[in-house]
Copies of this chain bind each other. A is one copy, B any other.
């Protein structure tokens, strides 16, 4: 109330003042966040009104809030911060699952919620989108459970500082933040020169930490010096923090240690690097990778997200005594935990110590001593007329992918498949390995497309060039309407729909007591009608005779620059076809499609329906299920299928754990 009254008597606005809403978007623009995802609603319209006043900022406008939160997450995985703006109550509750995912997966998403005015909140008025009980704090309380920083703006003098805090926290901690923005504050002004104060990303280290750091570096150096077969294991946050990303690459160059990635780290290391050994997934790894990693006498696990690798479905079988874990804010050496550290500082000091040792000739690692596991040669030689199999497809993709691709794999068989595909260099992999929300990948793909385009606005030689998503037909149904937003913005992703008529991952992992359960099936869709429904202008079936170059020049004709207001406008209504349908069922059809050079050029949105047998799955998944079945067989010899006998209760409990894992 006070603030509202005070604001009425605030000094007249000059060019030295900007509205608080503009302050927010200016700050976001400063950190390279140029797209705001979300939907309009009663309480955030005044916020959205201000986006257009800030150069380079744009409003995406999604089909629903959950999809918007996935898009903000996908965007943040590339540009280190993403933003979603929703309305109070209904909007923020609909997007909660996406923000919880960003929390689990360490992604810096800022959720700006337009709320009722402060006076409405204080008077506990009955308004739309509340629970009707006068409790205006309930949604904020809920978000406090899944954000690293959360605030409801109240005092206009503190508001710019709180906005800064949220943005810095997103980027520094790579965790979501919650910013409640009362409708009456949007138009209140603050001094414009506050924007000149740089955001403070430093994390001060106290004196005693410097000593701890020195001890840690010494311990790690001595472990490295005495190790015979050390490896580097890149985990989830390597991709999230530029500094860690740089450090791990410096460390690899310097030491030439073999390097592996976890499923969450896949895509953070150039996979064509000769010392790259593959993906380590504990007992689910390929036999060669498993042996190599678990026989190592020193694992430098960098960018670790999870401190305890004991899951109910598989185990990371290396010995704790051989591991140094570099988390974002602590280091764990063997069993000792050193909290409250800045891992970027540790890594940079470790690099400098190692560098000196190498210069002084005190440390030498024979890189050629032990060859890293090589990707298994494709064993699946299928006839042109064979029906498609995932094992064969994921192998083929290794050849079709290009440098600069963003590759997004949906939870399910695709997340397993992608692990066996070796990426070209400078690719980015996105998969929600831990949280695993179905449908996430399609929303994340929209976010990645915007991040890619925003990169282009900054740099003509954009880092990422294509965006490719693999999603099952079951998962597609969760978030399908976001294809409409891709068409609205004239984006050109590759959407591979792996159509196996339902939730095949559950079919394979769940040992049902029901004969032929139907709940894994989904209602079959006529996917060839999808692009038309969502307003796409579909290119006809006939093969285009475009050469790669012709297609490429078309692709680059997209954006229209407006020098008057310094923005880029993308044509929202394409003059010609802007998308195309593909449907492949046979090996020959798939080969012909991917071997056509024109297909590889991202000049239109492509929806590729890949028809697969219902129970087909990548080899690593099938191997995992076989191992689990063997284990189960050895634990209880009687596997009667009628439920609820003593022995079956036993077997049931065991089987109940086998799909509770991190995959």
Contacts and interface: CB of A to CB of B under 8 A. Distances in A.
A568 interface: no
Contacts of A13: 644-645
A90 interface: yes
A525 B644 CA distance: 51
Give the interface centre of A435, A524, A530 by most chain B CB atoms within 10 Å. A435
| Prevailing SS type, chain A contact patch | loop
Copies per complex of this chain? 2
Nearest to A105: B132
Contacts of A187: 513, 643-644, 648-649, 652
A127 B313 CA distance: 8
Interface in A161-208: 183-184, 187-189
Contacts of A526: 532-535
Interface stretch (A304-312, A336-344, A452-460, A583-591): A304-312
Nearest to A478: B64
Which 6 A-B residue pairings sit nearest by Cβ, starting from the closest? A93-B97, A488-B523, A529-B533, A13-B644, A90-B437, A94-B97
Nearest to A120: B312
Contact of A117 (B104, B484, B653): B653
Interface string A499-512: 00001001001101
Interface string A275-294: 00000000000000000000
A644 B15 CA distance: 11
Contact of A104 (B41, B130, B145, B485): B130
Given A64-B477, A100-B93, A435-B89, A4 B523 contact: no
A410 to B, nearest CB: 13
Interface stretch (A46-54, A462-470, A551-559, A617-625): A46-54
A613 interface: no
A45 interface: yes
Given A96-B96, A644-B187, A532 B535 contact: no
Contacts of A657: 117, 120
A437 B39 CA distance: 12
A132 B309 CA distance: 10
17 contacts: A4-B653, A13-B644, A41-B506, A42-B509, A43-B660, A64-B479, A93-B97, A96-B142, A126-B308, A126-B309, A126-B662, A127-B660, A128-B660, A141-B145, A142-B142, A526-B535, A530-B533
Contact of A523 (B484, B522, B663): B484
Contact of A525 (B117, B132, B535): B535
A125 to B, nearest CB: 5
A217 B143 CA distance: 45
Contact of A517 (B43, B49, B141): B49
Given A43-B660, A652-B187, A532 B529 contact: yes
Interface residues of A, number: 122
A271 to B, nearest CB: 25
Given A90-B101, A123-B310, A126-B310, 19 more contacts: A10-B646, A40-B506, A42-B506, A45-B510, A48-B517, A61-B519, A90-B97, A93-B97, A103-B131, A117-B657, A125-B311, A183-B660, A188-B649, A481-B481, A525-B535, A526-B535, A527-B533, A529-B529, A533-B533
Interface of A: 4, 7-10, 12-13, 17, 19, 39-43, 45-46, 48-49, 52, 59, 61, 63-64, 66, 89-90, 93-94, 96-97, 100-101, 103-105, 116-117, 120, 123-132, 134, 138, 141-142, 145-146, 183-184, 187-189, 305-306, 308-313, 434-439, 477-481, 484-485, 487-488, 503, 506, 509-510, 512-514, 517, 519-527, 529-530, 532-535, 572, 643-646, 648-650, 652-653, 656-657, 659-663
Contacts of A103: 131
Contacts of A436: 90, 128-129
